[in-house]
Structure 1
Amino acid sequence: MRDPAGAVIGLDFDGTLSPIVPDPAQAVIHPEAPAVLAELGAHVLAVAVVTGRPAATALELGPGLADVEGLVVLGHYGFERWEDGRISAPPPPPGVPRAEAELQLLLGTLDLKGVVIEDKGRAVAVHTRRSPDPEGALAVLREPLAKLAEKHDLVIEPGRMVLELRPPGMDKGHALSLFLAEKAARSVMFVGDDLGDLAAFDAVRASGLPGVTVCSGSAEVTALAERADIVVDGPQGVVALLRELGSAFSRS
């Protein structure tokens, strides 16, 4: 509050700016979020969406985000960057399509109902939310997916009823740390909801900056709530908190 011009606000997408839904392709940003982020962006140093989604997908599911002045989207945990209408990224890792091809056969042998594969370009995710027993399906999948990831030089990223195979070497914490250094930030807030956001929480602590961690709370994941400075009730609570912050900046 004393120095908004030095503040970086980082946010996850799914479960934070958009509600979790059975089909990830149907996730849509909270309708008020783009306007609230635009208001914040007028006061702070930078606003960044840090997501496991491809940057283009986050923008597609977040109508209005591309119009938020100064917004940066760090997609695929930071491997991709969208800024000023352009996406930059290294070449896609060859292990991902190979693992995805084998996934189809693997799921067939395990005979799991309602398990869905999501092709994310630079990663592949296996969702169990639509399974009759989502937690049981996750338990069955953990070991064979770990072996598949190791075979193709990938790592497993666990989430809310999902296991994702992705390249090593980057996570939300590393992406946030690099962004804070690039911007010479003087304070930071990160808002997330899932296990992949724990690394960003750690980066806030490790930065040495005045920092706030916020959990978009759910009954599915409690690890973040236990670590957060503030817990709000899902995307609606996130938007309310950000709106309050923007209003406070406007009054100061």
Structure 2
Amino acid sequence: MSRPGVVIAGRLLLGLGLVLLWTLLHRVLGDHTIAGLGDIAVRLWEIAQNGVLLRDIGVTMLEAGAGLAVGGLAGFALPFLITRVPGFEAALRPFIAAAMGVPKLALAPLLILWFGIGLLSKVVFVALVVFFLLFFSTLAGIRGADPRLIAVARVLGLRELMLLREVMLPSTLPFVFASLKVALPRAISAAVVGEFIAADTGLGSYIQNAMSQADTVGVFTGVIVVTVLVVVVNAVLDHTQKRAMGWRHSAIGGF
């Protein structure tokens, strides 16, 4: 069997094992502890039919996507700006590290107080969560750039924009994609947590309402939907990374 076939077979077996384990736990612990997969499937069909599923997925993904765009772009761009000024990055580093240490969940009520219970407070919360992941990864990528390659590029007369595009960006891309593998699930989770605290739509709001009604099926349904979203987003990111980093594999193979 080819390697892709082994991977697919392994995933199918693992998935089947998880289904069997879930079914066993449901029978042993009961409906109030572990919802049955059949009941979850029925609930999924119901909320898909009445439009609640697509509405809540859309709201949560909009919050996560907008927050990731704002926080991710800021975290990606700021290292390039501060490293342009000698000593500025070293002076700023402890303050950014201190800001990273602030528990973001503790800020959520304040963000809702400042920005309301609508979209903006969730976007800001997600942006704060993902900013530091992209910032420190991009900074590590900039530091990891080969100084000899930079020196040669300057000797060849590359201007700053060309140096950024041809040398610095390729150096940081592996670090950025590695941080995105963590930032994307965190962005979705942060949006859901923000909806836990104050929201009337979104997957977090759906799970919170189910919890308040002791609706185990609803809670597990919401959790499974969030998990599937994370898996799908990671698969899309893997595909994007392979395409964006294709030059790297080609260069290694050609060498």
- TM-score class, shorter: under 0.3
Give the number of the structure whose residues are more often helix, by fraction: 2
Give the number of the structure whose residues are more often strand, by fraction: 1
- Normalized against structure 2, the TM-score is what? 0.27
- Normalized against structure 1, the TM-score is what? 0.27
Higher Cα Rg, which structure: 2
